[in-house]
Amino acid sequence: MRLVSWTPADLLRRLDDVIAAYGEAMGYSDELLATRRGYVAAHVHRPGFRAVATLTDEGALAGFGYGYTCRAGQWWHDQVNAALPPPRRQWLVDCFEIVELHVRPAAQGRQLGAAQLIALLATTPAATAVLSTPEADESGSRAWRLYRRFGFVDVLRQFHFPGDGRPFAVLGRRLPLTAEAGRPGATSTRPAAGPAADRIRSG
């Protein structure tokens, strides 16, 4: 396996593989994936776009991740911002949104998701990183364990995006990543709450 950075052109060139990997990881229907294809193709033009991919020695796509600068006027930003109490809106002021981060099921369990997350956040100048993920049993969900291990805390819980019946959690963490980020025992897995969670720029 090798981890590489992708330009917008790289991702568009491998868009079929990206959508296939996304579908395998999320278990989505072909109909939903057809819609998602258009969204992904449009996302590469967003400010601050960054993408990474994990490739096998034969060049097959084992996983990928991408994100961009989170700004007012973007659908995700505006939905979340409207639902947050004013103190928590600081999370979105100078923010990198992790839009997608996936590893194909056959390649999971090899720390590929962690490597993709580190690489994706290594070069963004943003003060915070945010993402949304379906609510799940934190102890049993691979994605939740990954985000908690990297110090992501609760920003908003049990949120419903329009058109999706599932509840989502919005998680965030301050940047940059420390050298210890992601190591077992390096960060608390307990969600922050109250004023301490709102003072995201404090030391």
> Which residues are designated catalytic?
147
What is the Rg, in whole angstroms, of the alpha carbon atoms belonging to the chain?
A: 16
Strands 95-103 and 128-134: parallel
Angle at which helix 30-43 crosses helix 15-26, to 10 degrees, equals 130
3-class DSSP state of 199: coil
Picking from 74, 52, 75, 72, the residue whose alpha carbon sits closest to that of residue 1 is 52
